[in-house]
Structure 1
Amino acid sequence: MVAGRNVPVLIGAVPLFTVTSLSLNEGYQVVRIAGSRLAQLVAPTTRTISVDAVLVGSTRLVVKKGLESLAMTSRALAAATAPFVSLAGIPVVCGMTVSLDMQITSLKFTQSNQKRDAIDVVITLEQVPRSSVSAIVGEALDMALAAGMLAVPSLSGNIPIERQLGGTL
């Protein structure tokens, strides 16, 4: 939330306004140096993003279908979108990262008796770089986001833990 506004997490063109959790996992390839007990990190291997959100309001089913179409859950959707996916993956834009060339690997939708007018969704995306150019552009955008966040004042920088947890300590 920035300056009293709810800034969505964008997965492709699908905005998620009620994100409850977002995690970024980055893996690195480790190679042993021949004839030594030493190892060296040589290259990033995987980047995955997991998003937990709640789809609310009258647009919840439209957003669900938007996410399903990005994930190409049917043969018809896969055939229709395959030419575009070969050029570029799904961009993910949020307050933590800008990641290009992502692909949805898992979608889980849950509706419960307690929340009949809402759908919980868990989305897992994995980075599948299409070209070195898109990888470089993605990293440049991610660095620009990090640099831009230096100018935005943090709301929770000096708030004591008791206040953050609602005084339950």
Structure 2
Amino acid sequence: MATQPNTPVLVGSVQLLHVQSITVNEGYRIERIMGSRFVQATQPTNQTIAIDAVLLGDGRLDLKKELENVALTSRQLVANAPTGQGAVGISVVSGMTTNLNMQVTDLRFTQSVSKRDALDVSITLEQVLPGSPAATPGDATDTRLAPGSAALPSAPAPNPVPRTVGGPLPAGVLA
């Protein structure tokens, strides 16, 4: 069986060659439709990516510093981004996903006696949603679907009994 070339995972400008695992979490916010027993997926949640990798060899401490710089840069990009700017985070490129708006939320390095010439690194990134209304393809899709879904009846008809403060109830209505 022929060996496949090792495709790096890019976190910002850092190439991680020895990635052990990558996990991408995606989902939708679920909200109850007012006055109904039904629920609806309203919008995508922020995507999160967890990467576990090993930094090997003499350059491992240089890669550690580069990852720390990427983490600091991602925080500064988000904090100083002008309102309405499209891309505000760092990029993550792998065989599984490509995302241009990520921020490092957790960066953990581990060195053990059993692996003296290696550093284990765990990186958690979260998607940063820009301030513009058409920032992501999901948002644009939601905007196109909104007028059509507004025409669909989703809530029960309003109660025909008029309500007044402190007034008597209409005949035949139980309190």
Q: What residue number does 1:17 align with?
A: 17
| Structure 2 counterpart of 1:105, one-letter code | T
Aligned counterparts of 1:24 and 1:82: Cα–Cα separation in 2: 22
Are the aligned partners of 2:74 and 2:104 in contact in 1 as well (CA < 8 Å)?
no
Task: Return 5+ residue gaps in structure 2 as ranges.
Answer: 82-86, 141-175
| Structure 1 position 90 matched with structure 2 position 110 | no
Q: TM-score, normalised by structure 1?
A: 0.69
Q: TM-score, normalised by structure 2?
A: 0.67
Aligned counterparts of 1:49 and 1:97: Cα–Cα separation in 2: 9
Q: Please list, as runs of the form range in 1=range in 2, the aligned pairs for 1:141-160 lying within 5 A after superposition.
A: none
Aligned counterparts of 1:126 and 1:94: Cα–Cα separation in 2: 15
Task: Return 5+ residue gaps in structure 1 as ranges.
Answer: 140-169
Q: Please, what is the CA RMSD of the aligned residues?
A: 2.7
Cα drift, residue 59 of structure 1: 1.3
Cα distance change on mapping 1:116 and 1:133 into 2, 3 Å: farther
Q: What residue number does 2:136 align with?
A: 135
User: Cα deviation per residue 1:91-138 (whole Å; 9 max; x = unaligned)?
Assistant: 0000110011100000110000000000000000000022456534xx
SS at match of 1:4: coil
Cα drift, residue 85 of structure 1: 6.3
Aligned counterparts of 1:78 and 1:4: Cα–Cα separation in 2: 32
Q: Please list, as runs of the form range in 1=range in 2, the aligned pairs for 1:59-78 lying within 5 A after superposition.
A: 59-72=59-72
Aligned counterparts of 1:78 and 1:48: Cα–Cα separation in 2: 14
User: Cα deviation per residue 1:62-87 (whole Å; 9 max; x = unaligned)?
Assistant: 11111101111xxxx689x5489625
| Structure 1 position 117 matched with structure 2 position 117 | yes
Q: Which runs of 4+ in 1 moved over 4 A?
A: 81-85, 131-134
Q: What residue number does 1:29 align with?
A: 29
Percent of aligned pairs with the same amino acid: 49
**Number of residue pairs the alignment of both structures matches:** 132
The answer to which of 26-35 and 41-50 deviates more is 26-35
Q: What residue number does 2:54 align with?
A: 54
Are the aligned partners of 1:100 and 1:135 in contact in 2 as well (CA < 8 Å)?
no
Q: What residue number does 2:162 align with?
A: none
Aligned counterparts of 1:106 and 1:90: Cα–Cα separation in 2: 14
Q: Whose helix fraction is larger, Structure 1's or Structure 2's?
A: 1
